[in-house]
Structure 1
């Protein structure tokens, strides 16, 4: 069945077969408000990172003081299959899941912070003596520390990907970020302070899971709640990322930068199902190595390449495309600073501690460029012969159509 046949089928369905009403726009719907926007920011940022990364940050800087500075600085700089299924089925379901897990993860965050405050009030401050005494710092070690810190903060940009589904985006987008990121930054710094009230630097470095060690020492016999809520936190972050990053592939397909099928929308669910499923498949590939530290370092290396390229494009277009409408305009100094930070974070680890996996990461990125050139840019006839039947079968399998008005 071709695309036209699927459209006709969708328009001739009985009322009980689909929730789409007559003349309803076959586009993503604006169902994300300010509260959900803040939950996307907080729920996507707070994942497994704050419960794992403190060890790696401390390992690179070597002392409590610089460690806390790194966590605060990361916050300033920031200003896997069930999840895919939920996001592919319903925007509202994904939003409800996100709100629930955002609330659940704040429970463990509050427990850790309050426990730390109580311990500090009881005089447990010895681990903060001589906080800045440690090994000499270098640009490379600081960059690697930022890699691990920024891993825990990653997600600060995710709300940008769902502006089409955000109510009053010109107000709620910046407001969600302005509220969400400082909230996360305060929580992260206080959580790290709580960790150091019960663990020395050496003990924290020897801990296989910092939050679990904290729970064993402070919350016993209720320490079992820590791994439970860490799991909640990780699921919530994965759901938020799937919800937002899937929209990135959707828009790329719509704009002709990726295969067109990625821009198709489910007839029954009004979700970008192909894009979300594509994102889930890529995520599964990324977790194959299974080493969290390797994943953090090389994910951060790759993502800061693209952050740098993105703001570079913004800077260039500020001068070459002055006529473009800019509903949300930022001072030029901000993208310039982000570009400089990106250059340092990408180059410093390679220069100070070059490793072969960095090359693998670059080759993985280039492989996507090769795919783009063959199937998208030049549209070679043999490539189209491969992609067209795949697109048709995927369309029929997932019951998706291009984004447009449903015919009467």
Structure 2
């Protein structure tokens, strides 16, 4: 080798189909199989729950279109982190990556992994709830398996994404067709007076949105891997415009099918509404829905893994994380150190993990940063109209999404204040304690140099180039 440091590049392996699969495959995960009962429980009526599902789909579509403009103006991987960095500066970007890497992404992965594990072991514990230790061990195995796949081969990870998306669409198609049959047979009782009992208080609406938006999470994942997307100027908005409306329509049809079979009370008392639906409609084949829900969650976990490791990778490349996390494997050309680090943190979060708590915490924190990111888009539209844009949205769209984000962050606090939200807010801003001495003033330079060199040799990684 010569004396120069060789820069590696991540491969552009993600095409339009892969991009659609990454979005839809991550969105269709545990949520649609487990969240409908929580949505109807919070909002109080079947009709209002369907309105919530439609509104969340519209919100995800508007937010993703705004992100598409950001992604074609700032053509770098990293999603919210890189957009906040380029528009709001380093301190704000560090607060995001600190919260995201330490808690939000790992919490999301742990929540999806728990959902996968609960459904995977359900056929073996038909008469009683599965033990927590068994569920968490299976969830840990799922995380470790996907860590290996994503570290070894991007192409294999994308093939898994496409496969699991097909499996999810098949399982949801079974539910939709079953619902159509039930409606044709006259099972429409639950749609009569469907708005009776609707809760209109701010907290109930906010929590219903939280539970529903968990099912739509993943609409922004493609922005995290822009540098690995073929022809991003075209494929980024095109994948969004195909995947998100498709998922929204599917979600509405699936919820109609649930309501055609189950009463609101039956839905609210179920721990996994898709499994309850399967046992009632499919009879002896009810186990199919448990397997389908497990496969769906596993595919969603793969998508979260794929994009989450890239955000950590980009943050390290910008100097906000240890240098070792900005390196790629010399043969596989994958950001393996970042993926390994994300795996480790996710396993730690998994130990005390509780599904519902994870959903509420994730949604509150995520929408705080989604709103912050779109404030950056407003800044670029107003102050930098000269920047080349191959895809533009009307300025009203990001304004509407920012208003929705403010509502989602403030609503649960106004109507039903809880100390947990204060803890979350304090945690977000506690990152400044790390940023000021170690990032801004660069205290203790070289502290990690020896560890970095050792890990670089051990993991067979080298610095990766950001200019593709």
Q: Same fold (TM over 0.5)?
A: yes
- The 3-state SS of whatever aligns with 2:283 is coil
Contact map agreement 1:259 1:376 (CA 8 A) in 2: no
Please say which of residues 350-359 and 306-315 is displaced more in the overlay.
350-359
- The 3-state SS of whatever aligns with 1:196 is helix
Q: Does residue 1:399 correspond to 2:381, yes or no? A: no
Unaligned 5+ residue runs, structure 1? Answer: 9-24
Q: 1:328 to 1:399 in 2, by over 3 A?
A: farther
> How many Å separate the matches in 1 of 2:186 and 2:357?
38
Q: Does residue 1:257 correspond to 2:320, yes or no? A: yes
Partner of 1:51: 33
Partner of 1:83: 146
Offset at residue 323 of structure 1 (A): 4.2
Q: Does residue 1:387 correspond to 2:448, yes or no? A: yes
> How many Å separate the matches in 2 of 1:53 and 1:369?
35
Q: 1:198 to 1:6 in 2, by over 3 A?
A: farther
Choose which of 343, 355, 359 in structure 2 pairs with 1:296.
359
1:147-205 deviation line (CA, Å, top 9, x unaligned)? 00000000000011111111111111111110000110011001101111111111111
Contact map agreement 1:287 1:295 (CA 8 A) in 2: no
> How many Å separate the matches in 1 of 2:452 and 2:430?
21
- The 3-state SS of whatever aligns with 1:74 is helix
> How many Å separate the matches in 1 of 2:367 and 2:432?
17
Partner of 1:22: none
The alignment's TM-score, normalised by the length of structure 1, stands at 0.90
> How many Å separate the matches in 2 of 1:376 and 1:401?
22
Contact map agreement 1:258 1:376 (CA 8 A) in 2: no
Structure exhibiting the larger radius of gyration computed from Cα positions: 1
Contact map agreement 2:24 2:247 (CA 8 A) in 1: yes
Q: 1:264 to 1:197 in 2, by over 3 A?
A: same
Q: Does residue 1:195 correspond to 2:266, yes or no? A: no
Q: Whose RCO is larger (CA < 8 A, sep 6+)?
A: 2
Contact map agreement 1:46 1:233 (CA 8 A) in 2: yes
Q: Does residue 1:154 correspond to 2:217, yes or no? A: yes
Offset at residue 398 of structure 1 (A): 1.1
Offset at residue 253 of structure 1 (A): 1.8
Partner of 1:316: 379
Contact map agreement 1:170 1:328 (CA 8 A) in 2: yes
- The 3-state SS of whatever aligns with 1:268 is coil
Q: Does residue 1:269 correspond to 2:251, yes or no? A: no
Offset at residue 246 of structure 1 (A): 1.4
Contact map agreement 1:30 1:165 (CA 8 A) in 2: yes
> How many Å separate the matches in 2 of 1:221 and 1:5?
67
Q: Does residue 1:370 correspond to 2:433, yes or no? A: yes
- The 3-state SS of whatever aligns with 1:340 is helix
> How many Å separate the matches in 2 of 1:361 and 1:397?
36
Q: Does residue 1:29 correspond to 2:24, yes or no? A: no
Q: Does residue 1:205 correspond to 2:268, yes or no? A: yes
Offset at residue 92 of structure 1 (A): 0.5
Choose which of 264, 267, 289 in structure 2 pairs with 1:226.
289
> How many Å separate the matches in 2 of 1:215 and 1:224?
7
Unaligned 5+ residue runs, structure 2? Answer: 62-142
Choose which of 229, 233, 254 in structure 2 pairs with 1:166.
229
Partner of 2:208: 145
Contact map agreement 1:84 1:280 (CA 8 A) in 2: yes
Offset at residue 52 of structure 1 (A): 0.7
- The 3-state SS of whatever aligns with 1:26 is coil
- Alignment RMSD (CA, Å): 2.0
Report the number of matched residues: 385
Offset at residue 254 of structure 1 (A): 1.8
